[in-house]
């Protein structure tokens, strides 16, 4: 699967395709992992997921995915987190705008009491 047509099938499975045009050749990837204060609290998990869904309305978001740990028996897999948020943005400037957007600020205000730890991996596409 490639481009917007390929991603459309993924959108039905819990991934938000924020815009229908294909992703640019180079993107900025913002991947956030959340550890809930009470990992067994289903309501807290659903509240966090609901908050993340609202972030898809931020105009800079090209594509996003909300994830939960997959079952895996491989020792290299870290499944200690509760929820993850993967976002594709056009570039670092778009990520900077995303960070201060009122929807993002409201998400942090509303949902930060739910988590005890957050780890962010931001990546830019390697040259070449």
Q: What is the CATH number of the domain that holds 101?
A: 3.30.70.100
Confirm whether 4 is domain-assigned: no
**Structural domain of 54:** 27-70+79-124
Confirm whether 117 is domain-assigned: yes
d(CA 88, CA 56): 11
Select the more confidently predicted residue: 85 or 7: 85
Q: What's the whole-model pTM score?
A: 0.80
Which residues, 6 or more positions from 31, have their beta carbon under 8 angstroms from its beta carbon? 84, 85, 86, 87, 120, 121, 122, 123
Confirm whether 59 is domain-assigned: yes
Confirm whether 7 is domain-assigned: no
Q: What is the pLDDT of residues 6-65, one digit of tens each?
A: 333 333 334 555 545 566 678 999 999 999 999 999 999 999 999 999 999 999 999 999
Averaged pLDDT of the chain: 85
Task: Tell me the residue ranges of DSSP E strands in the chain.
Answer: 15-16, 28-36, 63-67, 83-89, 115-124
- pLDDT of residue 3 exceeding 70, the answer is no
Count of the separate structural domains present in the chain = 1
The pLDDT of residue 14: 47
pLDDT band at 126 (very low <50, low <70, confident <90, very high): confident
The pLDDT of residue 21: 58
In DSSP terms, which residues pair with 124 in a beta bridge? 28
Confirm whether 41 is domain-assigned: yes
Confirm whether 46 is domain-assigned: yes
Confirm whether 13 is domain-assigned: no
């Amino acid at each position: 699967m490639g481009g917007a047509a390929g991603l459309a099938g993924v959108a039905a499975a819990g991934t938000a395709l924020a815009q229908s045009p294909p992703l640019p050749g180079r993107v900025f990837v913002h991947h956030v992992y959340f550890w809930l204060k009470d990992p067994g609290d289903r309501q807290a998990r659903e509240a966090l997921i609901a908050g993340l869904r609202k972030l898809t309305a931020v105009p800079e978001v090209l594509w996003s995915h909300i994830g939960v740990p997959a079952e895996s028996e491989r020792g290299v897999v870290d499944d200690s987190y509760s929820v993850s948020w993967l976002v594709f943005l056009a570039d670092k400037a778009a990520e900077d705008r995303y960070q201060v957007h009122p929807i993002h600020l409201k998400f942090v205000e509303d949902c930060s009491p739910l988590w005890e730890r957050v780890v962010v991996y931001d990546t830019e596409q390697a040259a070449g």
